[in-house]
Amino acid sequence: MVEYAKGYFRRSVFKTYRFLKHPRKLKTSPLMRWFARHFLDKRVWKPTQHTFAGGMAVGLFVTVQLLPIQMPTAAILAAIFRVNIPIAIAMCWVSNPATLAPIGLLENWIGTWIMHQFGDPTAAVAKIAEGHERIARGIEFAKAMFIGGVFLGGALAPVGYVLTYIIWGAVDHWNKFRSQPQLPLKPGADD
């Protein structure tokens, strides 16, 4: 029964894939062409050194934004940049309820520091809440979190890309080294 279900699932996936990649569908709809070019490309689903590191960078950038739609945002950005979609979505799980407060406070601290150093680029928004102290504080906190999140994500993305790329290369090199056959030592070769 399980084998039948696996076969049925596999056939349905291939039918859907063929349906979405059919030339008639792609000729008639620009949306389907965009979807097929970005989401049905095998490179965005199979991890390679570049796509995995790129997916990690996109995921790290999106995870610190603290948006309610992190996973769809990460999937769309990963598809646009043609990097690994599953790892970009998985990295969104770094910001969960347990890590939400530390990430939010770090973003607020960074955003407040940036606004004090370089000025407030969104000063016009604060005029909306004149006379309402709590609303004004909430807007200030949200602005600091947004600016801090963009800055922190912009700093983490290239660092995550480089570190993941280097670690992938080191692990690949180690696996190649380990799989090489070792030459047996000859007794008496020292003579």
pLDDT score, position 29: 74
pLDDT score, position 95: 85
pLDDT score, position 121: 65
What is the CB-side half-sphere exposure of residue 18 using CA atoms within 13 A? 6
Provide the residue ranges of all domains of the chain, joining segments of one domain with +: 46-176
pLDDT score, position 175: 87
Name the residue among 109, 11, 4 with its Cα closest to residue 64.
Answer: 109
pLDDT score, position 1: 73
pLDDT in tens, 133-183: 777 777 788 888 888 999 999 999 999 999 999 999 999 888 888 887 776
* Whole-number Å distance between alpha carbons of 150 and 173: 35
Give the model's confidence band at 187: pLDDT under 50 very low, under 70 low, under 90 confident, else very high: low
pLDDT in tens, 79-132: 889 999 999 999 999 888 888 888 888 988 998 898 888 877 666 666 666 667
Give the model's confidence band at 185: pLDDT under 50 very low, under 70 low, under 90 confident, else very high: low
* Whole-number Å distance between alpha carbons of 65 and 72: 13
pLDDT score, position 141: 82
* Whole-number Å distance between alpha carbons of 32 and 26: 6
pLDDT score, position 45: 85
Contact by Cβ (8 Å): 56, 164: yes
pLDDT in tens, 10-38: 777 667 766 766 666 666 777 777 777 77
Q: What is the pTM of this model?
A: 0.73
Angstrom CA distances, 98 to 4, 32, 35, 67, stand at: 41, 39, 35, 15
pLDDT score, position 129: 60
